[in-house]
Structures are given as structure tokens and as C-alpha cells.
Structure 1
Amino acid sequence: MAAAATGTHGHGEQIPPGKPMSTEQHILDKGAEMLQSLTPIKQMNQHVCTFALYNHDMNRQIETHHYVTRVNQDFLQCAVYDSDNSNACLIGVEYIVSDRIFESLPKEEQKLWHSHAYEIKSGLWVNPRVPEMVVKKDLENFAKSYGKFWCTWQTDRGDKLPVGPPSLMMSPQAVNLGMVKPELIQKRDDRYNMSTDAIKRTRLEIAEPEWINPEADYWKQHGKCFEMHVEDVEMKKIAPFP
């Protein structure tokens, strides 16, 4: 019996327990890939690297890699990984909406979302290896957008499997509690051979949103967070067939 793989690999990802991939499984997967369309995955057309903070504990900050599918001009969906390595862990999902869509949401729903203006203006949100001039128009739109990010696998605390309920994540903000730790930014700058400060200076002309809805970034206004818990409830059974 093969030994279970444990520990970390690459840029901080966790290896789940389990047997190594067999040659037979590799061949099977390659054959399936050739025969199937995998259409939803092929719609991912951007890689965004940024940072996120746990809503219930903002001392926990992580680098995130979003693989973005643009459904339309007002709605995007992102598969979120903990690195851009081939063996990265899928740690969650983020939905991104335009300000127009966000304003149509109920206030209770808006509390679960965060604004992106600071992420964009501060240079924290980047498209690795893509020139700024290529993504400038997109960045202008993203600066007015809002996101809802659920983390389902907390690899930053060493979890080898996605255990427990999902955690709501927040966007960095220009206030002390919500600012990203400098060492995290420097680590990313070194890896991609870039300067977040220099990127920030190139974005001075990107307009600030005229208004950021205060229901977003709820913790800034109220010092409160949202934490998910699992509880037993009565099951809704299927009604008897006539």
C-alpha cells in the first residue's frame, strides 16, 4: 500500500492525504480531457492575484489567486486558489458584481459583500505578467465593483482537507485593521519581480467611485463580523407521491 502524502508543497499549499496518482489514472484523465469539452473551465480568461482577510479574524491574511470567468459586463465568477502553481489548492469562490447590480441587492445581503476600490487603487489587485496598459480599462470597472468571497479550505492554518463551514472573506481597506501586512506584499513582489508601490503610482488616474455603499465592508462601520456555524435542523422530507 502506498504511503499517504502529507505536508505542504509549492507556495504554501497543503497536500491532502491520499495515495499518489497512478500511471493508469493519469492515462484515464488524459483520455477524458481529450473527449470532453470542459466548457465552463475554458471560459476562465483572467488570473488575478490579490489578498484577502478572514472576516472573523483579520489578523489572518492570505494571498489569493482568482481565475475569472466573465458571465457578462455586470457579473463575474472566480475560482480561488492559494497559488498559481499546477498543484494549487482550490480554496473558495468569489462572485463579483457591478455597482449597478450591488445597489439592487437587499441590505441584509449587501452586508456580506466588500468593495474593491482600495484593492485596485493601492496596487494590491494585479494581473501577473500582464502590462498595466492592457488591463487599465478593466481596472477602472473593477474599482466600482463589489465581491462576495467564501473560503472553503483554510490552508493557511495547515488544514490538509477542506473541513468545517465556509468562512466569509473581506477585501483589504485603507484603515489600520484592514491593511495588508507589508511582508506579504514584499513576498509577492519578489516572486513576480514587480513593485506594488510602483503599480499604485500608475493607477493614480483611476477614478475613485463617487460613492461606496456603506452596507458593504460592514465591519468598517459596525466592528461586527459574520461567522458560519453548523447546526442540526429538522429535515424537510419529500411529500408522499399521490
Structure 2
Amino acid sequence: MEAAAAEQGGEKIPPGKPMSMEQHMLDKGAQMLQSLKPVKQMNQHICTFALYSHDMTRQIETHHFVTRLNQDFLQCAVYDSGDSTARLIGVEYIVSDKIFESLPPDEQKLWHSHAYEIKSGLLVNPRVPEMVVRPELENLAKTYGKFWCTWQTDRGDKLPMGPPVLMMSPQPVNLGMVNPDLIVKRDDKYNISSEALKNARIEIPEPEWINPQADYWKQHGVGFFIDVEATEMKKIVPFP
């Protein structure tokens, strides 16, 4: 019984009791009475792949639910699937090349480019025709993203553990390439062909220049990793 409760739709969920009828009713009532404005601004579902900055042998399929705040800035809630039981595993911020160029060099090192994801057919909008999303793909090809993973579900964590981890975008070089088995599994799920999408996107213009501070690992062979350390607190009043 517990094993069945831990699996819903093929997705593992955190340990805990099943939701009660009272909780379901409370949630439905709140949904009717509250605006949930930020959530309702999510107007795109993007599926792609990401690699851990400190260990690119670890690669995951990611589902980004996107809110566009303006033409130059997007924010994404990132889940491990597109199902109702999906786990929220992180957040990605996406900026235009104009904003990216305004960032300090040390900040730019934390960001990745999106051109290859677009051109290679790895990034898709599930169940949306290519001709509909083509203008958006052309815009995204010129953007940069910063993606923090807060729940490493790929290593079996049933709860969010440890500090956030910086994620990188797939690239056409050795360790930066995505495991073909992951691509086949994703393509079969959505009845698409990444290879066919790649051929169809040949005419999408590539950025005239991708800042080398982005995808920093490609030039320098190093990633970034956050650790936790104790530090002196700034106190408003002295502790007893």
C-alpha cells in the first residue's frame, strides 16, 4: 500500500500520508477564492535537458513552466516532468543578450547560452506545432539562462537535500552532449523527432556572437559548486 502511494503516474513523490478529503476540499475552495495571479501567468511549457555544472555525466530531462515578464526577461518554475505529480526541482531565469551583456563578468560565468538547444531540436514545446512557436524559438536562441536545481531527484533524493546546484545547457562537445537514450525516451513520450526538428530549424538565425563568459566550462574546463559553511550572523539585537 505504501509502495503504491509512493508512485503516482510513474513519478516518485515525497514520503508522507495521502491527502485527506478535507485537504482536497480546502484546496478546491482556496482555488476558487484566490487569484493565484503569478501561477496563471505561466503560459508556456518547455521540455529540454540540463547537465550539472560540477558533474556533466549527470544529465536530466527538465520541464520549464514559463512566465514572460517582458520581452527581455523570463522566469521558469522547473519540474522533473509535465505530469500532475511532478516535483518542483528548481528555477531558471532567462534574459536577452542585451541584458546579459550588461552583467558583470563574474556573474556571466553562471549563465549558459540557448542557441544550441534550439538549433539541435533538444528544446521543444510539447504538443505545440513548430510553426506556432517558431517566433519564440528565434527569440530564445539569442538568450542566456541561469538555472539552479534545488532537488536532485535523479540521484534518488525523496526530499530536497543540500544547497542548490548550478545547471548547464547541452552543447555540441563531448561531455556537453546529451545521452541519446534520454532523447529517445523524451521523443517517444511526445511523439516527436529531435532530429527532424533539428533539420526543420536550420534556417533559424544563430546569434551573431555568443559571449564566451557564458558556457564558461567550454573554454576553461571548470564548473561551479555551492557549499554550506557556518558564518557569523548579523543580529538586530544581542542574543541572550
Query: Any idea what SS the aligned residue of 2:43 has?
Result: strand
Amino acid at match of 2:56: M
- State TM-score, norm by structure 1: 0.95
Change (3 A) 1:221 1:6: farther
Amino acid at match of 2:24: H
- Cα deviations across residues 134-170 of structure 1 (Å, max 9, x unaligned)? 0111111100000000000001111000010000000
Contact 1:121 1:206 in 2 (8 A): yes
2:211 corresponds to which residue? 213
Which runs of at least 4 in structure 1 moved beyond 3 Å after TM superposition? 2-11
- Cα deviations across residues 116-149 of structure 1 (Å, max 9, x unaligned)? 0000000000000111110111111100000000
Give distance in 2, aligned partners of 1:108 and 1:97. Answer: 16
RMSD of equivalent CA atoms? 1.5
2:193 corresponds to which residue? 195
Change (3 A) 1:4 1:24: farther
1:31 corresponds to which residue? 29
Contact 2:5 2:18 in 1 (8 A): no
Query: Any idea what SS the aligned residue of 1:148 has?
Result: strand
Establish whether residue 112 from structure 1 lines up as the match of residue 110 from structure 2: yes
Contact 1:45 1:67 in 2 (8 A): yes
The size of the alignment, in residue pairs, is 238
1:226 corresponds to which residue? 224
Identify unmatched segments of 5+ residues in structure 1: none
Superposition map of 1:149-188 within 5 A: 149-188=147-186
Contact 1:4 1:20 in 2 (8 A): no
Give distance in 2, aligned partners of 1:16 and 1:181. Answer: 27
Query: Any idea what SS the aligned residue of 1:237 has?
Result: coil
2:12 corresponds to which residue? 14
Change (3 A) 1:111 1:5: farther
Give distance in 1, aligned partners of 2:139 and 2:78. Answer: 20
Identify unmatched segments of 5+ residues in structure 2: none
Give distance in 1, aligned partners of 2:3 and 2:174. Answer: 42
Amino acid at match of 1:146: Y
Query: Any idea what SS the aligned residue of 1:44 has?
Result: coil
Amino acid at match of 2:13: I
Contact 2:59 2:178 in 1 (8 A): yes
Amino acid at match of 2:9: G
Percent of aligned positions with the same letter in both sequences? Answer: 77
Give distance in 2, aligned partners of 1:67 and 1:28. Answer: 25
- State TM-score, norm by structure 2: 0.96
Give distance in 2, aligned partners of 1:33 and 1:58. Answer: 40
Amino acid at match of 1:229: D
Contact 1:96 1:145 in 2 (8 A): yes
- Cα deviations across residues 182-207 of structure 1 (Å, max 9, x unaligned)? 00000011111111100111100001
